[in-house]
Copies of this chain bind each other. A is one copy, B any other.
Amino acid sequence: MATTTIKDIAKALGLSPATVSRALQDSHEIGEATKKKVKELATQLNYQPNPYASSLRKRKSNTIAVVLPEVADSFFSLAINGIEAVAKDKGYHVLIYLTHESLLREEAILSEFKSGRVDGLLISVSEETTSGTHIKKVIDEGMPVVFFDRECDDVPTTKIVTNDLESSYLATTHLIKQGCKKIVYLCISPSLSISKNRVNGFNKAIEENKLTHSGVVACDKHFDNNIELVKKILSGKNRPDGIIASVEKLTPVVYLACRDLRLSIPTDIKLVSFTNLQTSLILNPPLTTITQPAFKMGEKAATILFKHLDKKKAALQNETIVIASELFIRQSSAKK
């Protein structure tokens, strides 16, 4: 409770608080002997500087905010690991905020940041976020913002993304090469930049290969609804022979729908899914996946933000950095 302050140390050594402060910062204005005395007493008394006093005076919090839709998804879990690794290394603290895919919450969270609580912001927007007005506002007020994964087209800042269009195209052509003629792309949160890119990659491949009876189907957030939807699709005539699940949580939906309908993956239907789950390879059958470099993306986003914070350059570049996803081909898309 009775924490020791700079004043305590100053009094004990017959110095002024200013001298102690400078000694602790290794200022060249302080003599070596004094520095040593101060530092020794500080460690002896287990002195911990009050971060809020420091932040108040220096107008710097050494804290960043990470704003995410949720941490249920394995992508964001891994991204947090990447972010935290860099933050600890750089001596920054990480505040975490979840929007639960709600634009309102996202706005409420961001509006607080004018207070100076954080020096910078890493964000992956909610699925309801179609415009980046609220994000531009905090940027205009001087807050550096780096997007990772889910970005906003209309906000000019640095963005760390993966090659969604290309990998979706790759996944689709992979299915086509494996013999699929009628591919359904299961989509969620269609307004997101990454969703659009993935859909575009899919459509590009479909058009190039002139496939008919292929297309995009919108799912919602309710597991049961999606099961019903997929079952309906799979039991109609013109049953698809290939499915692309555009997000992790749609994977179980497809597996269960197929099981219920006694359809075989990959014999009846081949499947590729966007997911970071480590269990992909022990699914029945092992799942062909597009795996995003989640850890690296978080790491990169944090690195860029901290570099900017240290250098105090002008604004962050309006730059999009792409870290490639990987296609892991497994049995769920096997030829026969």
Let me know if A285 is at the binding interface, CB within 8 A: yes
Least CB distance from A236 to B in Å reads: 23
| Cβ proximity bits A278-296 to B, threshold 8 Å, 1 near / 0 not | 1101111100000000000
Cα–Cα, bound, A282→B96 (Å):
31
Q: Can you sample 8 A-B contacts with CB below 8 Å?
A: A1-B142, A50-B56, A52-B52, A84-B96, A249-B278, A251-B279, A256-B282, A284-B285
Least distance between A258 CB and chain B CB atoms (Å): 10
Given the complex, which residues of B lie within 8 Å of A71, measured CB to CB? 71, 77-78, 80-81
A65-91 CB mask vs B (1 if < 8 Å, else 0) is: 000001110101110110011001000
Q: Distance in Å from the Cβ of A210 to the closest Cβ of chain B?
A: 33
Determine whether A97 belongs to the interface, using a CB cutoff of 8 Å to chain B.
yes
A282 near B283: Cβ-Cβ < 8 Å: yes
Q: Do B117 and A51 touch (CB < 8 A)?
A: yes
**Complex contacts, A212 vs chain B, CB 8 Å:** none
How many residues from A make CB contacts under 8 Å with B?
54
Q: For the complex formed by this chain, how many copies does it contain in all?
A: 2
The answer to whether A115 and B279 touch across the interface, beta carbons within 8 angstroms, is no
Structural contact, B277 and A279, CB atoms closer than 8 A = yes
CB-CB under 8 A for A115 and B48, given A72-B77, A72-B78, A78-B72: yes
Write out the residue numbers on chain B whose beta carbons fall within 8 Å of the beta carbon of A105. 88
Chain A, 36-75, CB within 8 A of any chain B CB: 46, 48-53, 55-56, 61, 63, 70-72, 74
CB of A154 within 8 A of chain B? Answer: no
Query: Which residues of chain B are within 8 angstroms of A283 by Cβ–Cβ distance?
Result: 279, 282-284
Question: A281 CA to B279 CA in the complex, in Å?
Answer: 11
8 Å CB contacts to B: which residues of A256-306?
A: 256, 259, 277-279, 281-285
Could you say which residues of chain B place their CB within 8 Å of the CB of A81? 70-72, 98
CA distance A111 to B47 in the complex (A): 10
Interface residue ranges of A94-124 to B (CB < 8 Å): 94-98, 105, 111-112, 114-117
Min C-beta distance of A3 to chain B, whole Å: 6
Cβ-defined contact, A53 with B50, below 8 A: no
Residues of B within 8 A of A94 (CB): 95-97
Residue-by-residue, is A152-194 near B (CB-CB < 8 Å gives 1, otherwise 0)?
0000000000000000000000000000000000000000000
Known: A95-B93, A281-B256, A283-B283. A116 touches B72 (CB 8 A): no
Residues in B with CB closer than 8 Å to A281 are 252, 256
Chain B proximity of A266: nearest CB distance (Å): 13
A29 at the A/B interface (Cβ < 8 Å)?
no
Partner of A53 from the list B56, B93, B249 (CB cut-off 8 Å) is B56
- Beyond the given A72-B77, A85-B98, please list 14 additional residue pairs across the A-B interface where CB-CB is below 8 A: A1-B141, A3-B141, A46-B111, A63-B95, A72-B81, A74-B77, A84-B97, A84-B98, A94-B97, A95-B95, A96-B96, A249-B278, A255-B282, A282-B283
